[in-house]
Amino acid sequence: MASTGRESLAVKRATEVAFDSAPTEPAPLPCPHPLPSYWTQTSSEPGPAQGVFTPQDGVDMEPEVDVAIIGAGITGISAAYHLANRLTPRYDGQPIKVVVLEARDFCSGATGRNGGHLTPLSVLSYDELASNPAHLSRFLSSTSREEHWGNDRGTKTDEVIRKILTLEARTSAEILMIIQEGDSLDVELVSGSNWHLCQSSEEEAAFDASIERAKRAGLSDLAMQVKKVPSEEWHKRLHDPSKITAVYEIPGSTVHSRRLVLLLHQLAYANAQRSKTDLKVFTQTPVLAVKSLSGGASSLETPRGNVRARYVIHATNAYASHLLPQYAGPKGIVPTRAQCVSVLPSKSPSEGEPLWQMGFSLNHGFEYLQQRPNRSTDGAVQTCILGGGRWAAIDREWGVADDTKTNPDVSAVLRPMLSDLFPNNFSKGDPVELEWTGIIGHSKSGDPFVGPVVASAPASHGARQYIVAGYSGHGMTRAYSCAEVVVDMIVADRAGEEWVPPVW
């Protein structure tokens, strides 16, 4: 069962302490045969017609490219999408060559194994963000003050919080626009809201305080996006749940995460053809090493031969330190195993009707839940996907990069949770359809690494390598925009211009 609000705060503190003891060795390559996830089981593999090639397709890689992207998840494919939209032809009239190299199958990492939520952070997280030393330390010299019930922005730390919340909201909005425009592939979007379910008066009081402090800090416009749902409403819409004390509604959506990346690639490939950009994706092609060459180029070693690239984007998230050991350990990016189950509810209020039209988070975000939309015509009840429970594992799964197995301690939390919370919709004997794990990349600050790679040796200075990784479980609402930032850096460097940070 889920922990109470008081317990979850203690768990959160213990989790942070455990992070500092995470392993310091570099991450391994992704395991070649991960457990199947709901997303990988309900979506197709792209092929040569879409510019995606396995070793069995017999297509040779180009020995020299303009940009090499390592990783074919939401970050890598977002980068390819932005490159296809922004790169101009070479001076000699030859097409720009962009290659994406993926160690396993297309979108088989964290994006293809997550909970399927597209929910930006809200002011419910204000206290957590404001107390984060990484956010405070950026403006230690600033004068702290609070603004009362207005919008003149408050302290410099609150400026950082505003930028974080704006980044996530902007990313979500951009993706929603892409989904609306790219209707050739159904990504099963369920847009509307996310409900955070409180399980104790302490958790409710903490959220109320966070909202009030956000208002006093000049974020009242963002606080207006949070609604406290009346008790009678959530009791009715959740079919009289158990152990819920309060509910907060924030903007959010759920989506078939792997199909979303397939759509992004479909659009990127079409744009590349129009702009005369040669875009190819090679799966089952792990990058074994990246070496800096003279003139800023890099050589990427793979089992299928080496590739020389003028620019390299490391979109490897949890596995970043395998190629960039300077990012290993708690000061960099720590591989962290997360776990999900998919379950069919045994009791539906109306045949063929979904239980809910929103996504859920609970236990201070440690757990997350959604129901997929009805894809069948037989009125069948649709799958519910629940993730979380990592707090029950010894060492919180920090440093665990094996997604071929589940953790039994986490399973013991997840499997009975739905029947405990929603006894009118789930029974303790409801079978679990699938249970899987995925590896997310955690940083100590909770923020990703975005920009030029930190050099590990003098020889690597001047190399045009960039990193976009370490989302700490929030890649769906950050990766697209973070990839755009790095692409803008590459476009500026290629043109001999100074990169200008985006206004958002």
- DSSP secondary structure letters along 402-459: -TTS--HHHHHHHHHHHHHH-TTT--TTPPEEEEEEEEEEE-SSSPPEEEEPPPSSGG
Quick check: 154 pLDDT over 50?
Answer: no
Measured CA to CA, the distance from residue 18 to residue 253 in angstroms comes to: 31
What average pLDDT does this structure show over 337-348?
A: 91
Each residue's pLDDT tens digit, 38-61: 999 999 999 999 999 999 999 999
Cross-strand partners of 256:
none
Residue 378 banded pLDDT, cuts 50, 70, 90 = low
The pLDDT score that the predictor gives to residue 480 is 99
Closest CA to 54 of 271, 367, 239, 280: 280
What average pLDDT does this structure show over 76-91?
A: 91
Among the ranges 69-73, 427-431, 493-497, which has the highest mean pLDDT value?
69-73
What average pLDDT does this structure show over 284-295?
A: 96
Residue 140 banded pLDDT, cuts 50, 70, 90 = very low
Higher pLDDT, 9 or 282: 282
Q: Coil, strand or helix: which one is 484?
A: helix
Phi, psi (5° rounding) for residue 207? -70, -40
Cross-strand partners of 247:
197
Each residue's pLDDT tens digit, 207-258: 999 999 999 999 999 999 999 999 999 999 999 999 999 999 999 999 999 9
Looking at residue 79, its amino acid is: A
CB-CB contact of 111 with 73 (8 Å): yes
pTM for this prediction: 0.93
Quick check: 463 pLDDT over 90?
Answer: no
**CB neighbours (10 Å) of residue 424?**
15
Delineate the domains of the chain, giving CATH numbers in brackets: 51-110+258-329+445-494 (3.50.50.60)
CA distance to 172, 277, 458, per residue, from 178 (Å): 10, 20, 42
Task: Tell how far CA 328 is from the center of its chain.
Answer: 20
Residue 192 banded pLDDT, cuts 50, 70, 90 = confident
Average pLDDT value over all residues in the chain: 90
Q: Which two tokens stand for residue 412?
A: 């013991």
Q: Coil, strand or helix: which one is 56?
A: helix
Closest CA to 98 of 50, 65, 139, 52: 65
CB-CB contact of 298 with 291 (8 Å): yes
**CB neighbours (10 Å) of residue 179?**
22
CB-CB contact of 386 with 340 (8 Å): yes
Quick check: 288 pLDDT over 50?
Answer: yes
CB neighbour class for 419 (10 Å; exposed up to 12, middle 13-18, buried from 19): buried
CB-CB contact of 307 with 65 (8 Å): yes
Each residue's pLDDT tens digit, 406-452: 999 999 999 999 999 999 999 988 889 999 999 999 999 999 999 99
Going by the DSSP 8-state scheme, the letter that residue 249 receives in this structure is: E
Looking at residue 115, its amino acid is: G
Quick check: 3 pLDDT over 60?
Answer: no
Quick check: 1 pLDDT over 70?
Answer: no
Residue 13 banded pLDDT, cuts 50, 70, 90 = low
Q: Which two tokens stand for residue 254?
A: 């759920």
Higher pLDDT, 137 or 148: 137
Measured CA to CA, the distance from residue 104 to residue 86 in angstroms comes to: 28
Quick check: 9 pLDDT over 60?
Answer: no
What average pLDDT does this structure show over 296-313?
A: 97
**CB neighbours (10 Å) of residue 178?**
17
The pLDDT score that the predictor gives to residue 503 is 78
Residue 458 banded pLDDT, cuts 50, 70, 90 = very low
CB-CB contact of 46 with 442 (8 Å): no
Helix (H) or strand (E) holding 338: strand 334-343
What average pLDDT does this structure show over 302-307?
A: 97
What average pLDDT does this structure show over 367-373?
A: 95
Measured CA to CA, the distance from residue 211 to residue 198 in angstroms comes to: 15
CB neighbour class for 470 (10 Å; exposed up to 12, middle 13-18, buried from 19): buried
Q: Which two tokens stand for residue 291?
A: 């070496």
**CB neighbours (10 Å) of residue 497?**
9
Residue 139 banded pLDDT, cuts 50, 70, 90 = very low
The pLDDT score that the predictor gives to residue 87 is 87
The pLDDT score that the predictor gives to residue 148 is 40
Rg (CA), the chain: 23
Higher pLDDT, 417 or 153: 417
Q: Which two tokens stand for residue 131?
A: 């107390």
Angle between helix 479-494 and 156-181 (nearest 10):
90
Quick check: 70 pLDDT over 50?
Answer: yes
Cross-strand partners of 371:
384
The pLDDT score that the predictor gives to residue 156 is 65
Residue 165 banded pLDDT, cuts 50, 70, 90 = very high
48: Cα within 13 Å, side-chain hemisphere: 7
**CB neighbours (10 Å) of residue 140?**
8
Residue 302 banded pLDDT, cuts 50, 70, 90 = very high
Quick check: 141 pLDDT over 50?
Answer: no
CB-CB contact of 136 with 465 (8 Å): no
